[in-house]
Structure 1
Amino acid sequence: MAMQVNSAGGKPVKEFGGVIFVRKDSPINTLSDLKGKKFMVVKASSFGGGQMALRLLLQNGIDYKKDFAEFKEGGKHDNVVLAVKNGAMDAGTVRTDTLEAMAKEGKISMADFKIINPIKDGFPFVRSTELYPEWPMAAAKHVDAAKVKKFGDALLAVKSDSDAAKKAGIIGWAPPADFKSVRECLKALKYGAFAN
């Protein structure tokens, strides 16, 4: 139906990724340094707060089920960041824009952290993983096509200065992107429909 469009300084952002981070004073500098360490995700089932980074780790020979000294779920993005900041965990992963948002709110300083596998390509937020399409709004197959079209058209009509967009903290909605990269990530992790 449609895909969420976030904002980075008022500019549209239609993709997001995962960022793996450690404390600035950590001896961890590379993905391979994470083996045998304590690692936290938001949830293993969270796409931006877990699965993107877990796929990257798997692609680099690190299996989260057996290669960490400890693997925990923080439940919320802020919990992961604070666990790393406070030294309870060696490293963590959250979705892109989390660190910047927490810094803007005064909860952390970006200078307190080091990004592992940093990708610098003009994307407005620190990241470690490839980019994936932002969150979609979809409908189940059994929903009436006319209703789906009407709802989709309403989403696409949301303007950045509307109350709805402001309350949601987004610019609006765009036509859906190709979600092939999302399916490939889930296949690599053998998650959900790809478990077998």
Structure 2
Amino acid sequence: MAAAALALGSLAAVAQTTVLRVSAIPDEAPTELQRKFKPLGDYLKQETGLDVQFTPVTDYAAVVEGLASNKIDLAWLGGFTYVQARIRTNGGVVPIVQRAEDEKFTSKFIVPVASPAKTLADLKGANFAFGAPSSTSGHLMPRFFLQQAGIKPDADFKTVAFSGAHDATVAFVASGRADGGVLNASVWDKLVEAGNPNAAKVRVLATTPPYFDYNWTVRPGLDAALRKKLTDAFLKLDPSKPGMKEIMDLQRASKFVPTTSANYDGIESAAKSAGLIK
């Protein structure tokens, strides 16, 4: 029995050194997340020599728990999810890179094209849709900025719904399930560029001030050499180089830049101010 246990332990150790387990917060449809990751996954396999396995999850909390329980090595997180992971692991997770765009991220408040609303204050008494409860750009920061503008979502909106994802919020507003909603600017721009039929039925009412958002984060205890190899791989990505443009286009990134945990202190403060964490 002891020998069998030792053998299983050895197999697990081998798996950990030959496989890179990757996941991402489910802020868009699962099929879209898979499509976006495939070329990046192939690139990371080439750069690290590891078998890269992408595992989709059903909710934001699952990514946090995956990092904390050593079931995920690398994850694409929103700023708020990173803060939750930082708290959950007592500062053990390490953010390694973010897109240059994530240093000045924004969210878009949207309404139906025919809506009479001209300002955010005009949405008082309306049915409103956020994205996922743990979304930085689809809930936390918009809620924070609404409160800064004197609008208390739970008191001033008739109803508050959570669509679950940015593209779903657009569908909510386009179909009349909500009178207004909010999503991140990157997904909004992508839907408009793609001629999405739901995006054609809504318009932007307001844009938030900028804030830090998404990053790639590694689990506590990940080998330092592998962490450096992953960081260097991201930093080398250049849309002007053959083979890299598709990766960067799908990631909606002009370049990746180093990031630090301190960049997300403001997100944690906003979450406390909004009452989303203690």
Q: 1:100 to 1:151 in 2, by over 3 A?
A: closer
Q: Matched residues in 2 for 1:109 and 1:167: separation?
A: 21
**RCO higher in structure (CA 8 A, sep ≥6):** 1
Aligned to 2:253: 170
Aligned to 1:3: 98
Q: What's the CA shift for 1:29? A: 2.0
Read off the aligned partner of 1:80 and give its amino acid letter. T
Aligned to 2:265: 180
Aligned to 1:78: 167
Q: 1:89 to 1:167 in 2, by over 3 A?
A: closer
Aligned to 1:148: 227
Q: What's the CA shift for 1:109? A: 7.7
Residue ranges of structure 1 left out of the alignment (5+ in a row): 7-12, 119-127
TM-score by length of 2: 0.56
Aligned to 1:57: 146
> Is the 8 Å Cα contact of residues 5 and 173 (structure 1) preserved in structure 2?
yes
TM-score by length of 1: 0.76
Q: What's the CA shift for 1:53? A: 0.9
Q: What's the CA shift for 1:113? A: 3.5
Aligned to 1:135: 214
Rg: which structure is higher?
A: 2
Q: Matched residues in 1 for 2:186 and 2:223: separation?
A: 36
| SS of structure 1 residue aligned to 2:147 | helix
> Is the 8 Å Cα contact of residues 131 and 169 (structure 2) preserved in structure 1?
yes
Q: Matched residues in 2 for 1:184 and 1:158: separation?
A: 32
Read off the aligned partner of 2:271 and give its amino acid letter. L
Q: What's the CA shift for 1:111? A: 6.7
| SS of structure 2 residue aligned to 1:72 | strand
Q: Matched residues in 2 for 1:111 and 1:167: separation?
A: 22
> Is the 8 Å Cα contact of residues 100 and 110 (structure 1) preserved in structure 2?
no
Count of residues paired in the alignment: 177
Read off the aligned partner of 2:225 and give its amino acid letter. A
Q: 1:58 to 1:73 in 2, by over 3 A?
A: same
Q: 1:76 to 1:111 in 2, by over 3 A?
A: closer
Q: What's the CA shift for 1:110? A: 6.4
The structure that is helix-richer by fraction is 2
Q: Matched residues in 2 for 1:70 and 1:109: separation?
A: 21
Q: Matched residues in 1 for 2:148 and 2:255: separation?
A: 33
Residue ranges of structure 2 left out of the alignment (5+ in a row): 1-95
